[in-house]
Amino acid sequence: VQLQACGGGLVQAGGSLRLSCAASGRTFSNYAMGWFRQAPGKEREFVAAVNWSGRGTSYADSLKGRFTISRDNARTVYLQMNSLKPEDTAVYYCAAGPVSSRTYLGYDYWGQGTQVTVSS
């Protein structure tokens, strides 16, 4: 599985962005997908995950209600981010793994990352 993330950019606080992650490979629908982020000087942290069917999702507690993960099983997973805050500034990575996991160790494949910058 190869992953290509896009949709990042510069947005003002309170704004929204929608990240996309396009997957190639025949078995995309068998994989759980996750989003992680890493800010400068900080560890990579879990953002959201969705299971293979799209019906099971999980979120970092601090992001519930603002971020929504979804997948269309046509090889794309999305992360809708609303009410963005400056502390959401980070490089966002999508990942694919056998099961939905809140730890980066649970994922086998990673996209290249897309920068999200939220200005105050």
Position 111 scores a pLDDT of 95
Position 75 scores a pLDDT of 87
pLDDT over threshold 90, residue 26: no
pLDDT over threshold 80, residue 55: yes
Q: State both tokens at 90.
A: 């980070």
Q: Phi, psi (5° rounding) for residue 113?
A: 95, 150
In contact, 95 and 104? CB cutoff 8 Å: yes
Q: State both tokens at 79.
A: 């992360």
| Burial class of residue 54, CB neighbours in 10 A (0-12, 13-18, 19+) | middle
Position 102 scores a pLDDT of 96
Q: What ranges make up the beta strands (E) of 1-120?
A: 2-6, 9-12, 17-24, 32-38, 45-50, 57-59, 67-71, 76-81, 90-97, 109-110, 114-119
Query: What confidence tier does 1 reach under pLDDT thresholds 50, 70, 90?
Result: confident
pLDDT over threshold 90, residue 28: no
pLDDT digits (tens, 9 = 90+) for 61-115: 999 899 999 998 678 999 999 999 999 999 999 999 999 999 999 999 999 999 9
